[in-house]
Amino acid sequence: MGYSLARTPSIILSGMDPNHAAEELPALYRAVLDRVAQLEASGDRAVARAVRADAIRIYSRKWDPPARRRLEDLLRRSTHGEYRLRPVGRGFRRWTIPA
């Protein structure tokens, strides 16, 4: 018989994911910072500042699969123009990803 990857349930494989998340986080963080640089270059400084602040907040906490998903979501939203600022009083408050 032997060990077969095709017979291994995906639930078991996803349970072994925390180290993989920690390995991917630095590259995802770098990708978000590259996107921040693009936003700044295009003149979208307020969004760039908000995206950078969210990325720092996510990256400086626990490196686990939820953190990886939050960084992926942040990168996706900032890349596809889905990251929005909303007016609050005289300033702006960003739509954030829950920590």
Q: Tell me if 50 sits within 8 A of 94, measured CB to CB.
A: yes
Residues whose CB is less than 8 angstroms from the CB of residue 80 and which lie 6 or more positions away in sequence, other chains included: none
Each of the 99 residues of the chain gets a pLDDT tens digit; together they read: 444 444 444 444 445 455 677 788 999 999 999 999 999 999 999 999 999 999 999 999 999 999 999 999 999 999 888 887 766 555 555 555 554
Q: Tell me if 83 sits within 8 A of 35, measured CB to CB.
A: no
Residues whose CB is less than 8 angstroms from the CB of residue 72 and which lie 6 or more positions away in sequence, other chains included: 28
Query: For the chain, which residues make up each domain, given as ranges?
Result: 17-94
pTM for this model (two decimals): 0.67
